[in-house]
Amino acid sequence: MSPGLRVVVYPPDAKGGRRVRCDGEILGRALGPADLLEFLRWAGLNPDTVRLDDPLLIEWRGGGPAVWTPGADGA
């Protein structure tokens, strides 16, 4: 894993997609964990070893890795 790499996953939009940013660059819109892992692979991480609940790697906004529905975070 690249040291210092920081990923931000934004709250689900109206269709359940979540914007993904890595070190300030938008990687795309993930529709689920598989999409997110693919974006992380593009960023140079091994998707087989990434933990989606690792707070040192991923900052989840608007709900954690299980939230892919708008408003499902209780907000």
Q: Encode pLDDT of 26-58 as tens digits.
A: 999 999 999 999 999 999 999 999 999 999 999
Name the token pair of 20.
């993904």
Instruction: Please state the domain extents for the chain.
Output: 7-60
The pTM (predicted TM-score) of the whole model is 0.87
Is the confidence at residue 1, as pLDDT, over 80?
no
Q: How far apart are CA 2 and CA 75, in angstroms?
A: 33
